[in-house]
C-alpha cells in the first residue's frame, strides 16, 4: 500500500480518517505530534496553520508516496495557497471531509482543493464510511490484500 501523509487544519478530520482507514472505532483525540504509522503519517493541524512548523511537513513528506490535503466541507476559507501543489515532489491528492454534516459544502471545498493544484479528489465521511473504499483502492498497490479480502 502506498504511504500517505495527511495535512490539514485542526479539526479537518486527519486523525478520524486515519482511524476509519484502519477500521478502528472513531474516538477523538488531539494529535500533538507527527504520528508516522505503518502506511499513514498523521500530522497536527498546527503544522499546516503555522509557517514555522510547516517546514516539518516538507521534511516528513519525503517519507510518503502521496500527500493528502484535507479540507473539511464546513470550512469558511481555504488554508491552501493557489497552486501550492506545483512545488511538491510527491503526488498531491485532495480529500474533502465531513461530507455527512447537514451544513456541508463539499463542492466549495473541492473547488478550493482544485485551485491548490489537486487533480484527484476524494469525498469522505469517516463516520458513515462513504468514500473510504475509494481512497483505500487508490492507495492499494498491485498484490496488496486489504483486511476484508484476507482468506482464512
Q: Could you tell me if 78 and 71 are in contact, meaning their C-beta atoms sit under 8 angstroms apart? A: yes
Task: List, for residues 105-126, the tens digit of each pLDDT value.
Answer: 999 999 999 999 999 999 999 9
CATH no. of 4-139: 3.40.50.300
The segment with the largest mean pLDDT, out of 10-14, 54-58, 144-148, is 10-14
Please give the torsion angle defined by the CA atoms of residues 58, 45, 120 and 113, in that order, rounded to the nearest 10 degrees.
-100
Confidence of residue 148 (pLDDT cuts 50, 70, 90): very low
Q: Could you tell me if 71 and 99 are in contact, meaning their C-beta atoms sit under 8 angstroms apart? A: no
Query: What does the block give as the cell for 22?
Result: 484502519
Task: List, for residues 121-142, the tens digit of each pLDDT value.
Answer: 999 999 999 999 999 999 998 7
Task: List, for residues 22-78, the tens digit of each pLDDT value.
Answer: 888 787 777 777 777 788 898 888 888 888 888 888 888 888 999 999 999 999 999
Within 14-118, residue ranges assigned H as helices are 14-21, 45-49, 51-61, 106-116
Measure the CA–CA gap between 144 and 133, rounded to whole angstroms. Answer: 14
Measure the CA–CA gap between 12 and 9, rounded to whole angstroms. Answer: 5
Confidence of residue 146 (pLDDT cuts 50, 70, 90): low
- H or E stretch at 38: none
Neighbours of 23 (CB within 10 A): 12
What pLDDT shows up at residue 150?
46
Amino acid at each position: 500500500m502506498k504511504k500517505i501523509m495527511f495535512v490539514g487544519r485542526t479539526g479537518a478530520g486527519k486523525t478520524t480518517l486515519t482511524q476509519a482507514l484502519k477500521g478502528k472505532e472513531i474516538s477523538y483525540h488531539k494529535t500533538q505530534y507527527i504520528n508516522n504509522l505503518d502506511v499513514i503519517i498523521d500530522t497536527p493541524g498546527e503544522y499546516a496553520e503555522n509557517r514555522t512548523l510547516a517546514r516539518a511537513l516538507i521534511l516528513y513528506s519525503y517519507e510518503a508516496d502521496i500527500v493528502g490535503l484535507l479540507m473539511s466541507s464546513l470550512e469558511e476559507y481555504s488554508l491552501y495557497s493557489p497552486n501550492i501543489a506545483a512545488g511538491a515532489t510527491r503526488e498531491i491528492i485532495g480529500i474533502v471531509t465531513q461530507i455527512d454534516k447537514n451544513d456541508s459544502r463539499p463542492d466549495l471545498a473541492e473547488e478550493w482543493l482544485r485551485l491548490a493544484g489537486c487533480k484527484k479528489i476524494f469525498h469522505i465521511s469517516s463516520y458513515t464510511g462513504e468514500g473510504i473504499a475509494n481512497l483505500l483502492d487508490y492507495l492499494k498497490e498491485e498484490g496488496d490484500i486489504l483486511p476484508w479480502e484476507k482468506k482464512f
